[in-house]
Each structure stands twice: as C-alpha cells, then as structure tokens.
C-alpha cells in the first residue's frame, strides 16, 4: 500500500491527480472562539495558499462565541482543536478534563478595558462599582477583566458585568455601560467607527499572559498526533506568511472573512495580530513556542481568584513535541 508520506511527496511534485490528493487528506476541525473573521485569517486561506492542503490536511472551521465555546466543541466531539484562551483552558482542567495545549497562537495579551474620557476611569481601581461590558460570559474579555480587577484587590462582585456581544462599543457610547472589556482589534474597529477619545487600560501591563492557544483532548493527541503535527506545521507556515505578507493577507481576508469587506481595516487588524503572535521566546524558538512559566503564573492567579480550585501544573498540560524542530 502506498504510504501517506509517499503520496504527499508525489503531490508536492505534481505527480498525483487532484482527486487523489483530496481523497488522501485528513479532515481536521478547528473550533474557534469567533466566526470566521479577519483575526483568524491563517485558518481561512487554504484555497488560495494551500498551507494545509500541502500537509495533507482538510481543514474545517466551526465558529463559537468565546473560548469556552471552543472548548465545549472539542469535548463534545464536534471539533478536534480548540482556538481558545488560557482562562477557558484552566476552567476545563479544573473540572477534570484531560486537555493539552499544543501551540501558542498569541503569546502577547491583547485584552483591555475601555472607557470614555469623561467617565473618570483611569486605572483598574476606578472600575469599582461600575457597569462593565464583556463579549460573553465564556469569553477571554470576562476572564481578563477578572485578572485586571485582581491586581487591585477587586473581584467581579465589586462591579456589574453586562454581556454586550462582540461589537460592544455601542452600549458604551449609549451609556449602558461605564466601561467595556475588549481586545486590541475590537478597539481598533471601534475607533474606526467613531468611538472618539477613550481611556484604555491594557491588561498586559499587569499580567502579560498568552491570549490564545490551540488546545486538544489528550485522547485526540494520542490518536491523531501525526495529523496534529501537520496541522501545526501548516498553521505556523500560514502565520509566517501573514507576518511576511500582511498586504496579501488583507486582500485574501477580503474574500474569506465575514468582516473583511474593508481591506484597509483588514490590514490594520492583521498587523495587530502579527504583533501579538511574536514574543522574545518565539524569536528564539519559532512561532507557537509556549512559555510554560507564564502560563503557570496565570493559572496560579486564577486559583488565587477562586476561578479554579485545584493547583494546575502547566508543565504537564503543555505539549511541545508537535512544534517543528521538536
């Protein structure tokens, strides 16, 4: 029987019919925290760039509303890989779920809390007693808000949480909330839509932990390690392409992302995501390299907050052997 490696070699040389290539690809489903938006362009470009196809992976994307949704989709078997935030990972681990983190998508913390200048909110302590918007109760915006409050001795009980959805600056402008938790790209879009002068508290200034990771069930890692390794290689190639060719990526996003109708805005979003994908560690070890110590610090803070009950040993959760070079 012809091996998959041999088939992929033939495909790379153009010696295998397209139908045969398609038949041999392994289906792999990624559960996202969002709909297929510009921010996740590296997962949307296979038709044009073939990063996953060249690795024998037939990639599919399942949308979600927050990192918790992405975790639930892999736990229910609806997907193989979750595009999720550390907080959602910690919460699932605390419940006894057997999960592994295989790739650090954004090692930089991209979350913030935004308020209008007139609100008088200048720092985390000023949030006490205020109404604060979050994307959803299962989102990284809520969890990073909790991290921020913790830095000044506050908890969620000291504020009022309001679920506002992804485009959550309208409630801020309309006075329905005093501040809103968002991401750097969310703030970018808000400013493009006339948000005006605002005060921005960056969570990364207080705890610069990864914003998003690729996470799988231990069972999936054991059973599909080869496919996952090829997926990670393809994603890394796609992310490197987006770093090197942001203008081309913005053009592709205009065709593939549901929010990509404005190529100029796409380019700004892509530049922000490119910046978030690089750290001192990735400069030494390559894109996707995971900072176990940073994740451990974050997990310990979640325990201090009471968001998780168990001490989580992130060295046992992080799996680095899928990354190129390992």
For the chain, give the mean pLDDT: 91
Mean pLDDT of the 18-38 span: 82
Q: How far apart are CA 231 and CA 250, in angstroms?
A: 22
Chain segment 35-50, per-residue pLDDT in tens: 999 999 999 999 999 9
Say what the pLDDT of residue 236 is.
Answer: 98
Say what the pLDDT of residue 6 is.
Answer: 57
Choice between 63 and 3, residue whose per-residue pLDDT is larger: 63
Mean pLDDT of the 237-250 span: 98
pLDDT at 1 over 80: no
Domains of the chain in sequence order: 4-107+210-317 (3.40.190.10), 111-205 (3.40.190.10)
Say what the pLDDT of residue 143 is.
Answer: 84
User: What is the distance between the terminal CA atoms of the chain, rounded to a whole angstrom?
Assistant: 29
Stated pTM of the model: 0.86
Q: How far apart are CA 102 and CA 323, in angstroms?
A: 8
Asked whether the CA dihedral 287, 290, 295, 297 is positive or negative, the reply is negative
Say what the pLDDT of residue 193 is.
Answer: 83
Say what the pLDDT of residue 23 is.
Answer: 56
Out of 14-28, 135-149, 187-201, 265-279, give the one with best mean pLDDT. Answer: 265-279
Chain segment 199-231, per-residue pLDDT in tens: 999 999 998 999 999 999 999 999 999 999 999
**8 A C-beta contact, residue 257 and residue 36:** yes
């Amino acid at each position: 029987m012809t091996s998959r490696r041999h088939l992929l070699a033939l495909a790379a040389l153009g010696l295998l019919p397209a139908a045969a290539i398609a038949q041999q690809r392994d289906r792999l489903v990624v559960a996202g925290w969002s709909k297929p938006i510009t921010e996740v362009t590296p997962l949307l470009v296979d038709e044009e760039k073939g990063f996953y196809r060249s690795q024998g992976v037939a990639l599919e994307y399942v949308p979600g509303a927050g990192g918790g949704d992405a975790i639930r989709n892999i736990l229910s078997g609806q997907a193989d890989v979750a595009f999720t935030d550390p907080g959602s990972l910690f919460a699932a681990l605390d419940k006894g779920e057997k999960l592994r983190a295989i790739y650090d998508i954004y090692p930089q913390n991209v979350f913030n809390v935004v308020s209008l200048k007139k609100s008088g909110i200048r720092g985390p302590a000023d949030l006490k007693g205020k109404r604060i918007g979050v994307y959803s109760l299962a989102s990284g915006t809520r969890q990073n808000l909790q991290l921020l409050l913790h830095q000044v001795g506050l908890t969620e009980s000291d504020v009022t949480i309001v679920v506002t959805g992804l485009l959550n600056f309208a409630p801020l402008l309309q006075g329905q909330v005093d501040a809103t938790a968002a991401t750097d790209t969310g703030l970018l879009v808000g400013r493009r839509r006339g948000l005006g002068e605002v005060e921005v508290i960056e969570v990364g200034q207080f705890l610069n932990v990864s914003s998003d990771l690729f996470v799988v069930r231990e069972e999936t890692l054991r059973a599909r390690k080869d496919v996952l390794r090829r997926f990670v290689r393809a994603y890394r190639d796609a992310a490197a392409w987006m770093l090197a060719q942001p203008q081309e990526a913005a053009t592709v996003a205009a065709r593939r992302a549901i929010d990509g109708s404005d190529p100029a805005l796409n380019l700004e979003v892509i530049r922000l995501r490119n910046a978030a994908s690089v750290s001192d560690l990735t400069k030494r070890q390559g894109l996707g390299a995971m900072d176990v110590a940073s994740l451990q610090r974050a997990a310990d803070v979640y325990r201090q907050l009471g968001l998780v009950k168990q001490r989580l040993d992130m060295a046992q959760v992080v799996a680095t052997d899928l990354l190129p070079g390992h």
